Amino acid sequence: MTTASERKRRTTGVVLAAGAGTRLGLGPKALLPYRGRPLVEAIAGALFDGGCRDVVVVLGAGAAEVVEAADLGRCRVAANPDWQSGMGSSFLLGEGTADPADHLLVALVDQPGLTPETVARLLAAHRPGRVTAAAYRPRDLPDGSPRNHLKPGQLQRSQLQRGHPLLIDASLRSAVATTVTGDAGARGFLRANPGMVDEVDCSDQSTGEDIDTPDQLGLLQ
């Protein structure tokens, strides 16, 4: 059986942080302020604190500005010159930069609710040869119950929505990479292989929402 220390030693986190944040109109999302520091710095810190042994941050729009503003000294930073082609190219750059023997834990820079506990939970639940994904309850539960009154696992699988982070087993990295195109990331592989994905309820940690529009800026509070 793989121990917790072995999982930590064998997992690299990848932060996809190359987008320009056009819909928000506030510059790169990586630089959004979150609890006194740039959001990209907080996300990378959560991956380290949750158990990743290494973190690759993939930058694109405003890369030099992000490097100047954020403390990414513990991370490996990769600049994607083709970032405008979509998330797929950033995913592939991150995958290619990570140690080839490691599992990949892929996170989005615009998900401020990511916590070290979510990362640790995925690492602990992961099984060899599988993909392990964080999943979240919908914002409005059918019975109106407050989200924080339910514990992980209390909802049926069908009531959870798969999101990020996504933990890809080292043995699947090549197979996933061959399906990546445009802005899809690992979506094509997941849709083609639903039986290989284990969902882990992380609803007690956050809503799992991304910041895509101005009305979602409240997630930064």
* Residue 213, burial from CB neighbour count under 10 angstroms (0-12, 13-18, 19+): exposed
107 found inside a domain: yes
In a domain, 215, yes or no: no
pLDDT confidence of residue 148: 46
State mean pLDDT over 109-129: 96
What's CA 38's distance to the chain center, in Å?
Answer: 16
Q: Where are the alpha helices (DSSP H) in 106-159?
A: 116-125
Output phi, psi for 52, to 5 deg: -70, 140
- Using pLDDT thresholds of 50, 70 and 90, give the confidence band for residue 84: very high
- 216 within domain boundaries: no
Helix, strand, or coil here: 106? strand
Beta carbons within 10 angstroms of residue 11's beta carbon: 28
For 31, 55, 120, the CA distances from 27, given in Å and listed in that order, are 7, 23, 31
Residue 83 belongs to some domain of the structure: yes
pLDDT at 113: 93
Confidence check: pLDDT of 44 > 80: yes
Kindly state the percentage of the chain with pLDDT values over 90: 72
**Average model confidence (pLDDT) for the chain?**
88
**Is residue 20 in a domain?**
yes
**Taking 60 as the threshold, does the pLDDT of residue 103 lie above it?**
yes
Helical residues (DSSP H) of the chain, grouped into ranges: 4-9, 39-50, 63-69, 87-97, 116-125, 173-177, 187-192
112, pLDDT greater than 80? yes
Domain that holds residue 60: 4-205
Read off the tokens for 216: 């979602």
Can you tell me the distance from the alpha carbon of 18 to that of 62, in angstroms, rounded to the nearest whole number?
8
Distance (Å, whole) CA 82 – CA 74: 24
Question: Does residue 118 have a pLDDT over 60?
Answer: yes
Q: Provide mean pLDDT across the span 165-188.
A: 93
Rounded to the nearest 10 degrees, the angle between the axes of helix 116-125 and helix 39-50 is: 40
221 assigned to some structural domain: no
Q: Does any domain span residue 220?
A: no
Regarding predicted confidence, which is higher, 188 or 4? Answer: 188
Looking at the predicted structure, is the pLDDT value of residue 206 above 50?
yes
Q: Is residue 149 part of a domain?
A: yes
Number of structural domains (the chain) is: 1
CATH code of the domain covering residue 101: 3.90.550.10
- Which position has the higher pLDDT, 2 or 81? 81
More confident residue, 21 or 65: 65
